[in-house]
Amino acid sequence: MVLSRSLLAILSASLFFGHNVQAAEPAPATANIAVPAPRSSDKESALIERGKYVAQLGDCVACHTANKVPAMAGGREFKTPFGTVYSTNITPDAQTGIGKYSF
C-alpha cells in the first residue's frame, strides 16, 4: 500500500511539473548534399565482408565442413534417430555451393 502511494505521488508530481515541457526544435534540414553512390565493387566488398562476419558468428564451419574437404563444402554426417543427415555445401561456388543464391 505504501509503495502504491509512493508511485502515485511520483506519477502525479511528474505530470504536474512536466506538463509544460516541450520537445526541442528539430534540427534544420541540410542543403541537398550530393553523396556519391558507392561503386559496385565497394558494395560487393562490403557484402562479402558481412557474409564472412555472419559465417564466423554462426560458426557455420562446425557443421558444414567434413574431414578432408575444403571448409564449408558440406558432407559432414550427422546420425540422428530419424536417419543420417549430411550438411550442405555453403561455399560461394556457383555450381556446387550457394554462389547463385540471392535475396
Give the pLDDT confidence score for residue 25 in this predicted structure: 61
Residues 89 and 76 sit within 8 Å (Cβ to Cβ)? no
Q: Report pLDDT for 83.
A: 95
Distance between start and end Cα atoms, the chain: 56
Q: Which residues make beta-bridge pairs with 86?
A: 77
Q: What is the mean pLDDT of each run of 10 residues along the chain (103 residues)?
A: 66 60 56 60 83 88 91 93 94 88 76
**Are the C-beta atoms of 73 and 64 separated by less than 8 Å?**
yes
How many residues are given for the chain?
103
Identify the helix (H) or strand (E) that includes residue 79.
strand 77-80
Each domain of the chain, given as residue ranges in start order, spans 61-97
Give dist(CA 21, CA 76) in Å, integer: 62
Provide the 3-class DSSP secondary structure of residue 67: coil
Q: pTM (2 decimals)?
A: 0.53
Residue 38 pLDDT: 58
What is residue 44's predicted lDDT score, i.e. its pLDDT? 82
pLDDT of residue 101: 84
In angstroms, what CA-CA distances link 51 with 33, 55, 71, 82, 90?
31, 6, 15, 32, 11
